[in-house]
């Protein structure tokens, strides 16, 4: 039986996970990747949003780093984007979120055509807080130099854990809403190239 090792990319928002062979560094192909989160307002209206700018790399020794430009939040409504940048994320002080993980040697090799599932544990850094966070992922090695990775289930990110509850309350007040949930499901689908 062939031993497989997975290297994984996971993002914040965040978030991403990915599996790689150990030959060289891998980087996210931003044109073929997406990072989404959902919000629910007034207890029944759920909307899907995304970040338009994020990047990531995985070194051959298993060090994974993913960074998200928080000013690239895209809710499809300009004023809401601005409010989230200023009132929630405070991008003037906290411009990026990041996810870092050191992947074990047992998670480093895939052959072309292999598909694996697993969990990636790391640290999500957002709004000045570092919180242990896990992503459940499925990775497939599409070709010698391309790996596709996506979440197999959403990761729930809690605003309170990152000191964002006051920002959520401020958004709720300015928008005149009865409620905004403070737990946000995060999903992604990324392509890594070598």
Tell me which of 110-119, 127-136, 150-159, 171-180 is least confident.
110-119
Note the pLDDT of residue 105. 56
pLDDT in tens, 51-65: 999 999 977 776 778
pLDDT of 8 > 60? The answer is no
Q: What is the 3-state secondary structure (H, E, C) of the chain?
A: CCCCCCCCCCCCCCCCCCCCCCCCCEEECHHHCEEEEEEEECCCEEEEEEECCEEEEECCCCEEEEEEEHHHEECCCHHHHHHHHHHHHCCCCCCEEEEEEECCHHHCCCCCCCEEEEEEEEEEEECCEEEEEEEEEEEEEEECCEEEEEECCCEEEEHHHHCCHHHHHHHHHHHCCCCECCEEEEEEEEEEEC
Note the pLDDT of residue 87. 96
Mean pLDDT, to the nearest integer, of 88-95?
Answer: 97
Q: Which domains does the chain have, with CATH numbers?
A: 26-193 (2.40.128.110)
Mean pLDDT, to the nearest integer, of 135-148?
Answer: 88
Confidence of residue 25 (pLDDT cuts 50, 70, 90): confident
Mean pLDDT, to the nearest integer, of 86-110?
Answer: 84
Note the pLDDT of residue 7. 33
The structure's pTM equals 0.83
């Amino acid at each position: 039986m062939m031993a497989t090792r997975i290297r994984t990319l996971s993002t914040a928002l965040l978030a991403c996970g990915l599996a790689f062979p150990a030959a060289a560094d891998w980087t996210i192909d931003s044109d073929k990747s997406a990072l989404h989160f959902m919000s629910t307002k007034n207890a029944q209206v759920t909307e899907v949003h995304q970040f338009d700018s994020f990047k990531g790399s995985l070194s051959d020794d298993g060090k994974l780093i993913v960074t998200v430009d928080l000013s690239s939040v895209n809710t499809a409504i300009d004023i809401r984007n601005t409010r989230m940048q200023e009132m929630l994320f405070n991008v003037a002080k906290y411009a990026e979120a990041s996810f870092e993980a050191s992947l074990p040697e047992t998670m480093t090799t895939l052959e072309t055509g292999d598909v694996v599932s697993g969990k990636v544990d790391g640290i999500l850094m957002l709004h000045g807080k570092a919180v242990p966070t896990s992503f459940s992922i499925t990775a497939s090695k599409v070709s010698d130099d391309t790996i596709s990775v996506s979440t197999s289930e959403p990761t729930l990110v809690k605003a309170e854990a990152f000191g964002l509850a006051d920002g959520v309350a401020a958004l709720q007040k300015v928008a005149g809403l009865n409620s905004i949930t403070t737990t946000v499901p995060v999903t992604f689908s990324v392509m890594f190239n070598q």
